Copies of this chain bind each other. A is one copy, B any other.
Amino acid sequence: MAAAERMVVIGGDATGMSAASQARRLKKPEELEIVAFERGHFASFSACGIPYWVGGDVTGRDNLIARTPEEHRARSIDLRMHTEVTELDVPGQRVRVTEHEDGGPGTQRWVGYDQLVLATGARPVRPPLPGIEAPGVYGVQTLDDGQALIDALEKNEDLAGEGAPGGGDGVRRAVVVGAGYIGVEMAEAFVNRGYQVTVIDRGQQPMSTLDPDMGALVYDAMCAMGIETVRNASVTRILTDARGRAAGVATDDGEYPADVVVLGLGVRPETELAAAAGLPLGESGGLLTDLAMRVRDHGNIWSGGDCVEVLNLVSGRPQHVPLGTHANKHGQIIGANIGGDYATFPGIVGTAVSKVCDLEIARTGLLERQAAAVGLQFETVVIESTSRAGYYPGTKPMHVKMIAERRSGRVLGVQIVGRENAGKRVDIAAVALHAGMTAEQMTGLDLGYAPPFSPVWDPVLVAARKASAAVRAARPN
């Protein structure tokens, strides 16, 4: 018996499978057939967990798989692995799929849809440098990437060291290109594996998702951890050895030999299929959707996750923010709407948190340059406080930067660099940004206090007090 409607999902990861699962909760198989196509070997995996798998904190690939294909199928979601969608026919309401199950060229067929979910995600940036395709250059986007890297590392670590490409002194070396989230997380992973790590970045400071003054704190901390951090560097080529394997990285300033090279240069929306079908894309190449996550002007095509742009509620601009937390929300919202319920995604405020060894790094809202780019004028303050009461054991220094709009005093952004218990404090500011609070209003927030948890003035409150004072001091101008 055919179902009344068919939902087709392209991409079997966070957004796609969350959408499928949520729709299935709301509609029975006889009401809604759900077919999902995934071109890779894995579905529903945590890409964010790959650095921790490589670093050894997470043991085993299966820990990163939230739900197996069999589990999806048991819930009447027809998930087809190794199946690529090669064409989208919007007027015909159908997609062309190629099944690679047998490893051969694959059989092609058209599959019609009533509701379509584009959850094609993002692809890592791989600049066209000489040697970039050499064996020994790794990405960390998929579980296959992670497995290939781990296999290579384990093989390398089994070698005695002499004769290894990294220099023959028995020291294993890793070069990470890019000092963003993936870059610093991979640096930590290699430190945990006992590698000497070099991170090479073109920016003035690591973590270009922070302002340079806060990025400088990350730089200092990484240096203190023994991570060589090269700034303002342009990678010119990948060094290769006699066998053609990657043996390091060359920049305009020098050469950095390595046993392994990892690229952490960020990702771009994977929207070729959508572009070829004429769907609306934003400046970043991400799909544009409405608040219900419908592709704009297309009533039965939905999209979310790493292939869409989302509204930044602070800047008022659409932006590409590839984070698992948004992707999961989008999937849940799409599934609810297809399932006949109602849900919307209001937008993001730009929150992100990461760590490199014991250094916690967090931000929300806009950076100075982002605020200036949309015409905002502002005051900034940076304060230093501690994670716990000053007298409590284990208290650690933390820096908080706050950016508040001139005149209105509205908080525009917060950045935090500290140690344990620092990073998640950014959530205080994230909620305040959602609520449009001023720095002055934030000074009155009733936050949890006890000596093991916070100084009597939480560092975020200290920043708010100082930002509020800065706005008042600047007001007459």
Contact = CB atoms under 8 A, between A and B. Distances in A.
Interface of A: 14, 46, 48-49, 52, 57-58, 63-64, 181, 185, 323-326, 328-329, 344-355, 362, 364, 389, 391-393, 421, 423-428, 430-435, 437, 441, 443-454, 456-458
Contact of A424 (B347, B446, B448): B448
Task: Choose among A324, A427, A432 the residue with the greatest number of B CB atoms under 10 Å from its CB.
Answer: A427
A457 B328 CA distance: 8
A4 B350 CA distance: 51
Task: Choose among A324, A325, A448, A453 the residue with the greatest number of B CB atoms under 10 Å from its CB.
Answer: A448
**This chain: copies in complex:** 2
B424 A445 contact: no
Contacts of A351: 446-449
A364 B448 CA distance: 8
Contact of A428 (B64, B352, B391, B427): B427
Nearest to A360: B453
A324 B449 contact: yes
Contact of A444 (B63, B329, B392, B451): B329
A59 B329 CA distance: 47
Given A353-B449, A452-B355, A453-B423, A346 B444 contact: yes
A428 B425 contact: no
A328 to B, nearest CB: 5
Contacts of A432: 431, 435
A14 B389 CA distance: 15
A424 B437 contact: no
Given A424-B453, A437-B435, A456-B46, A446 B349 contact: yes
Nearest to A433: B446
A323 B437 CA distance: 24
Contacts of A433: 446
A346 to B, nearest CB: 5
Given A14-B456, A324-B456, A328-B456, A392 B428 contact: no
A459 to B, nearest CB: 11
A46 B431 contact: no
Given A432-B431, A444-B345, A452 B52 contact: yes
B450 A48 contact: yes
Contacts of A431: 428, 431-432, 435, 437, 445, 447
29 contacts: A14-B456, A49-B389, A49-B392, A58-B451, A64-B391, A181-B450, A323-B449, A324-B449, A324-B456, A325-B449, A326-B446, A329-B444, A344-B444, A349-B446, A351-B449, A352-B448, A352-B449, A355-B453, A362-B448, A421-B424, A423-B450, A423-B453, A427-B428, A428-B431, A430-B445, A430-B446, A430-B448, A434-B435, A434-B437
Contacts of A52: 391-392, 451-452
Contacts of A441: 346, 434
B391 A49 contact: yes
Given A63-B391, A391-B46, A430 B456 contact: no
Contacts of A345: 444
Contacts of A49: 389, 391-392, 451
Contacts of A434: 435, 437, 441, 444-446
A345 B444 CA distance: 6
A355 B451 CA distance: 10
Task: Choose among A14, A52, A424 the residue with the greatest number of B CB atoms under 10 Å from its CB.
Answer: A424
10 A-B pairs closest in CB distance: A353-B448, A435-B435, A325-B449, A431-B431, A63-B391, A351-B446, A348-B446, A349-B446, A346-B444, A427-B447
A348 B448 CA distance: 11
A64 B389 CA distance: 10
Contacts of A58: 391-393, 451
A79 to B, nearest CB: 19
A266 to B, nearest CB: 16
Nearest to A346: B444
Contacts of A389: 46, 48-49
Given A364-B448, A432-B435, 12 more contacts: A48-B451, A181-B450, A328-B457, A351-B448, A353-B448, A353-B453, A425-B427, A427-B458, A431-B437, A433-B446, A434-B437, A435-B437
